[in-house]
Amino acid sequence: MKHIFSTLSQNSSTARTSSRAELVRFALRLSYFTIAWNGVIGVAALAVSTATDSLALAGFALNALLDSFASVILVWRFRKEQSNPAAAERFERRAQGFIAIAMVVVALYVGLEGVRALVNGSHADESTLGIALAILSLLALPWLGMKKIQVALAMSSRALRGDGVLTLAAAALAAITLAALLVVHAFGWWWADPAAALIIAGFLAVEAVRVATHHRFG
């Protein structure tokens, strides 16, 4: 893990002075890392959320998997640029649409489930593993999101910048989820979990609008 972080950090330190081809290769490395990291964390968090009925953890898990999906799209987008630079901008616009739709779907699901839980008074079971997954995510996602935005600025990529924001959003959601799980664990405040889920849903909805309407870089 340290080797991966070290390699990516060394490459990003020269991002602004690198050639376009080098920037594309580095963007691909960041995307591959996101697919692997968020894919594993997302699946694990989703499994734990299903076992414990934690809506906040489910929202975080779905966002992590969404970020992984966005990175798959970016891999396709940057590979298109490598083989056919003229097609890059067209695919970038398509990527924005796909990601925005997926974010809206996740926001609606998490939001509706959060409202249902508050109305019915249902609550999550304690989840030590969920807490561990949230902490683990906070160790990597803030760094990863900032690196994506740094490279995106160097290569003027709206899609990569949007994915960087999505990764930072995942980090923020990990923090919200961690706080909710700790509150439930320490004080038994069952409403903290669905309340956190509603915050996650609102955040995703806002970001979906930003992604869908952001047609100009910056």
Q: Residues in the chain, how many?
A: 218
pLDDT digit string, tens, across residues 90-125: 777 777 777 778 778 878 877 887 787 777 766 656
In which band, very low, low, confident or very high, does the pLDDT at 172 lie, cut at 50, 70 and 90?
confident
Contacts of 19 (CB under 8 A, 6+ apart): none
Q: What percent of the chain has a predicted confidence (pLDDT) above 70?
A: 86
DSSP letter, residue 216? S
Q: What is the pLDDT of residue 217?
A: 42
Rounded Cα distance, 207 and 218, in Å: 15
Q: What is the pLDDT of residue 194?
A: 77
In which band, very low, low, confident or very high, does the pLDDT at 16 lie, cut at 50, 70 and 90?
very low
In which band, very low, low, confident or very high, does the pLDDT at 214 lie, cut at 50, 70 and 90?
low
Over residues 168-187, mean pLDDT: 81
Q: Which domains does the chain have, with CATH numbers?
A: 18-213 (1.20.1510)
On whether the CB atoms of residues 150 and 9 are closer than 8 A, the answer is no
Q: What is the pLDDT of residue 8?
A: 56
Distances (CA, A) of 136 to 7, 38, 87, 145, 213: 20, 11, 37, 15, 32
Average pLDDT score over the chain: 79
Rounded Cα distance, 195 and 11, in Å: 40
Rounded Cα distance, 59 and 112, in Å: 11
In which band, very low, low, confident or very high, does the pLDDT at 148 lie, cut at 50, 70 and 90?
very high
- 156 Rama class: left (phi>0) / alpha (psi -120 to 50) / beta: left
Contacts of 58 (CB under 8 A, 6+ apart): 45, 46, 49, 50, 110, 113, 197
* Residue of 63, 123, 47 whose CA lies nearest to 99: 63
15 pLDDT higher than 50:
no
